[in-house]
């Protein structure tokens, strides 16, 4: 018998299906395949975007920028150093968290150095710096930022800057030390804190060891793929010493950097030196790297700087 104009066939149950209806199954499969491809593409895009944000400087700051070591005491820190007696102190941060530190009063010292340490460990880790200041003949307050050592809270750029102000206020209000007798000293990460405090509060002088222009700039130099991120995906606020250096007209500044520093390139100190508007000195140690200055070298440089820039009887910079 001659077939109709529309092709037909029987399925395995004997039901007649036209060619038109049989083709619909193939169309549905094709649509499903396209949908799966779209889902795969969307999933890949979500993973890429998620990975992009997960690897952003703001997220990785908690792993790369702040490396605190929590402790329940500073038992390993000697409380008698070069004729100074250490006193455990506590004071409140702007956030309300408690900050812990050690205050060493050097007999007959003309100045007190407020020490803002670097990114890792705690004040005990960096106690060699406090000893350096004491060896140079000055009283010292060394303290831990929020989330470091015995201090409560969590570290952040904003918290670090606020903590520096809190330490300064402790010296002025609790220890009755005149601003004209306070020298800010910041090391590595802490150099931005020292600069911030000096920019907003009167200080006799500023010492910046291994300083940097901008923490965001350092991050890009250390982790090149960070250059693909907009500024709002970096920890806020950006920190550094450049703003203070450019605005400061009177406060003496000492810049010390290792010529072979692999962490914060020496060009940062050189740029700060070139941008400085006020009295300043740059000491570039040709054999030093990051934080490997000798105690005697630093003590001698700091003592010479203070004697040169802050002779007895000199009025405080305005």
- Give residue-wise pLDDT tens across range 81-140: 999 999 999 999 999 999 999 999 998 899 999 999 999 999 999 999 999 999 999 999
Strand, helix or coil at 313?
Answer: coil
- Average pLDDT of the chain is 89
CA distances to 5, 19, 27, 65, 116 from 22, rounded to whole Å, are: 15, 5, 9, 64, 79
**pLDDT of res. 56:** 85
Residue 33 has pLDDT above 80, yes or no: no
Whether the ω angle into residue 201 lies within 30 degrees of 0, i.e. cis, is no
Spatial contact of 213 and 206, defined as CB atoms under 8 Å apart: no
100-103: long-range pairs with CB below 8 Å, 24+: 100/74, 100/143, 100/144, 100/149, 100/150, 100/151, 101/141, 101/142, 101/143, 101/144, 101/167, 101/170, 102/74, 102/77, 102/130, 102/141, 102/142, 102/143, 103/139, 103/140, 103/141, 103/175
Instruction: Provide the whole-model pTM.
Output: 0.84
Q: How far apart are CA 54 and CA 34, in angstroms?
A: 30
The structure tokens 């409380």 sit at: 79
Beta-strand pair 112-116/139-143 = parallel
Q: How many CB atoms lie within 10 A of CB 221?
A: 16
**pLDDT of res. 29:** 75
**pLDDT of res. 28:** 78
Residue 165 has pLDDT above 50, yes or no: yes
């Amino acid at each position: 018998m001659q077939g109709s104009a529309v092709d037909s066939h029987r399925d395995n149950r004997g039901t007649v299906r036209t060619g038109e209806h049989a083709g619909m199954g193939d169309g549905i499969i094709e649509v499903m395949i396209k949908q799966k491809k779209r889902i795969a593409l969307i999933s890949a895009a979500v993973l890429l975007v998620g990975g992009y944000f997960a690897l952003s400087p703001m997220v990785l700051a908690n792993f790369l920028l702040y490396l605190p070591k929590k402790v329940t005491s500073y038992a390993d820190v000697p409380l008698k150093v070069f004729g100074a007696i250490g006193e455990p102190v506590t004071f409140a941060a702007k956030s309300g968290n408690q900050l812990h530190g050690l205050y060493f009063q050097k007999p007959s010292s003309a100045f007190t150095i407020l020490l803002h340490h670097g990114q890792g460990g705690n004040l005990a880790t960096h106690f060699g710096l406090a000893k350096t200041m004491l060896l140079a003949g000055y009283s010292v307050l060394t303290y831990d930022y929020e989330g470091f050592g015995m201090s409560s809270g969590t570290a952040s750029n904003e918290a670090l800057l606020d903590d520096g102000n809190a330490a300064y206020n402790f010296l002025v209000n609790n220890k009755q030390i005149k601003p004209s007798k306070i020298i800010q000293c910041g090391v590595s990460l802490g150099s931005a804190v020292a600069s911030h405090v000096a920019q907003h509060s009167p200080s006799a002088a500023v010492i910046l060891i291994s300083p940097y222009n901008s923490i965001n700039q350092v991050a890009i130099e250390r982790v090149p793929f960070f250059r693909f991120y907009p500024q709002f995906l970096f920890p806020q606020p950006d920190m550094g010493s450049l703003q203070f250096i450019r605005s400061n007209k009177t406060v003496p500044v000492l810049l010390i950097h290792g010529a072979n520093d692999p962490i914060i390139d020496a060009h940062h100190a050189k740029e700060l030196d070139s941008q400085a508007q006020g009295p300043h000195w740059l000491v570039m140690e040709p054999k030093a790297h990051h934080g490997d200055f000798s105690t005697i070298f630093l003590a001698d440089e700091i003592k010479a700087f203070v004697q040169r820039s802050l002779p007895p009887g000199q009025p405080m910079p305005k």
